[in-house]
Amino acid sequence: MLVVPAHLVEFCRDRGESGEQWLARVPGLVSDLCARWSVELDEPLQGPPGSAAWLAPGRLGDGTEVMFKLAWPHPEASTEAAGLRFFGGRGAARLLASDEATYALLLERVRPGDDLWTLDLDHANEVAAGVLEVLWRPPSSDAGSIGTLADTVAVWNGSYATTRDAYPPDLVRAATEHGDRLLDSQQTLVVVHGDFNPFNVLSAADGRWLAIDPKPLIGDPAYDLAQYLANRVEAAIATRRPAEELSRQVRFFARALDLDPTRVARWGSVKAVGWDWGPSTAALLTQVADQM
């Protein structure tokens, strides 16, 4: 009998009837896909609360270790396969097979799989910059169904009137105005990871670090640091001068990746509102951007 981890059961129940219906389909989908891809799976991983996928390690008939992922169907997961296919194993885990109709992926297993949280902050930032250097490439015909950053920002801007009542109006207004300005002044366009954070970069046995779980978009490379910096906010707040600490990291990434530090910081403030990271995080990242 297929085991469904408690975190995924809770996630689906929180989504009502549609979640319960998808949850009921999971055993059959996993069974069918394992037969199609000739993969034998181990027990599923116990993910954190809110995790939206059934994940299990396994192996192919030739012994190749793999990771099987069946994601809850939602827009952000719809282009994960396209992103991994575009990256082609350059700075990211290799995609071995996919069934995009069911949001299912078969990936190389990244071992030992330690994430960037296991490194001290500055070392982790150096590794992160190195991964992004490899990942970023201009879009081409193999970008497939990957959407644009411009379309994403337009969706955010159109939703704020009804979804950001908890935010000070000036923060929402600034996110809208600066997002539009950043888009208007984009020069270099690449396929960005879209959800680049310390959890999503894993260590491989050959010494490389590989990204997983992309939410790819075509747009300004500076945008890719927004998620990463947001994950550093809590540690920055623990210092005496959080804005200065985050500014220091912004400048590091700008130097390492030949980016405009103001754009790096400003995308952080824009995405903080767009992804609803909370008024306090948005206010701090906005302060950092204003001081650049």
**What's residue 203's pLDDT?**
98
Q: Is 153 helix (H, G, I), strand (E, B) or coil?
A: helix
**What's residue 143's pLDDT?**
81
Residues 6+ apart with CB under 8 A from 61: 38
Q: Is 176 helix (H, G, I), strand (E, B) or coil?
A: helix
In the sheet that 201-204 helps form, which strands lie side by side, from edge to edge?
112-115, 201-204, 209-211
- CB–CB of 104/70 below 8 Å? yes
**What's residue 47's pLDDT?**
77
pLDDT in tens, the chain (292 residues): 899 999 999 999 999 999 999 999 999 999 999 999 999 999 999 877 667 999 999 999 999 999 999 999 988 899 999 999 999 999 999 999 999 999 999 999 999 999 999 999 999 999 999 999 999 999 988 787 899 999 999 999 999 989 999 999 999 999 999 999 999 999 999 999 999 999 999 999 999 999 999 999 999 999 999 999 999 999 999 999 999 999 999 999 999 999 999 999 999 999 999 999 999 999 999 999 999 9
Domains and CATH numbers, the chain: 6-109 (3.30.200.20), 113-291 (3.90.1200.10)
**What's residue 144's pLDDT?**
79
**What's residue 255's pLDDT?**
98
Q: Is 160 helix (H, G, I), strand (E, B) or coil?
A: helix
User: Sign of the CA dihedral 226, 246, 87, 260?
Assistant: positive
* Residue 213, token pair as written in the block: 């779980």
| pTM: predicted TM-score of the whole model, two decimal places | 0.94
